[in-house]
Amino acid sequence: MRVLIIEDEAQLREQLAARLRAEGYAVDAAANGRDGAYLGAEYPIDVAVVDLGLPDQPGTEVIKGWRARGLKFPILILTARGRWEDKVAGLEIGADDYLVKPFQSEELVARLRALVRRAAGWTDSKLRCGPFVLNTAAKELAVDGAPVEITAFEYKVLEYLMLHSGRVVSKSELTDHLYEDDADRDSNVLEVIIGRLRRKLDPARILNPVETARGQGYRFRFERSASQDGAR
Ligand code: CA
């Protein structure tokens, strides 16, 4: 997942960036409204954290600009204590959630996870697709009820594919959402990861959960299980 942080307080921005990287996010960060507005418009981000009090361009203007361009990614706003009017204004122009400073980073992490999930049409923190259950809070995979060990990077790839299950996800879309820098992108690495995931998800090679759409990318073949009430 790719997150954009727009926050002018350097210490807070760096703390959040470090925390979110530790959670597995690719992080883009900006210290003012104008740079942040640009990154949000040009980068394939999954979720944005926007402080409302920003130099150059207030957070509300940044958000209005994105929404006017049809950008739909979820947005969480940060507001100063006691500025309830800001919260209301932010939500009315298209933000999806808010946190009042100071806040616990755990709460931010949980809210961002929920926003990303809901944007993809899921409500439960456990993604259930056929026999595969991915617990996005604990970052754990179970197949037919049995835990299966996966690495942090395998988890990121699988989470993206399962969030968008049933749809073909191209290699470039995957790398865009998983890597911060172009330099890290190597489609051979991705192919290796997909190969390992397939062996872990389906050791008997009968289910073929991660289908290759020739020349297009990958598709998680098991769609969201019927018990999920988040279907849109
Ligand atoms: Ca500020």
Q: Where are the domains of the chain?
A: 2-119, 126-228
Tell me which of 2.30.40.10, 3.30.420.80, 3.40.50.150, 3.40.50.2300 is the CATH number of domain 2-119.
3.40.50.2300
- The CATH-assigned architecture of domain 126-228 is Orthogonal Bundle (1.10)
Instruction: Determine the distance separating the centroid of ligand 1 and the alpha carbon of 40, expressed in angstroms.
Output: 18
Instruction: Determine the distance separating the centroid of ligand 1 and the alpha carbon of 7, expressed in angstroms.
Output: 6
Residue with the bigger pLDDT between 227 and 196: it is 196
Instruction: Determine the distance separating the centroid of ligand 1 and the alpha carbon of 71, expressed in angstroms.
Output: 23
3-state secondary structure of 1: coil
Reported as a single tens digit per residue, the pLDDT across 67-120 is 999 999 999 999 988 888 888 999 999 999 999 999 999 999 999 999 999 999
3-state per-residue secondary structure call for 143-161: ECCEEECCCHHHHHHHHHH
Spatial separation of the C-alpha atoms in residues 73 and 45, rounded to whole Å = 7
Model confidence band, residue 230 (pLDDT cutoffs 50, 70, 90): very low
Instruction: Determine the distance separating the centroid of ligand 1 and the alpha carbon of 8, expressed in angstroms.
Output: 5
pTM, two decimal places = 0.92
Instruction: Determine the distance separating the centroid of ligand 1 and the alpha carbon of 52, expressed in angstroms.
Output: 6
Reported as a single tens digit per residue, the pLDDT across 34-62 is 999 999 999 999 999 999 999 999 999 99
Spatial separation of the C-alpha atoms in residues 101 and 145, rounded to whole Å = 40
3-state secondary structure of 137: coil
Give the CA dihedral 96, 135, 217, 211, nearest 10 degrees: -140
Using an 8 Å Cβ cutoff, are 143 and 132 in contact? Answer: yes
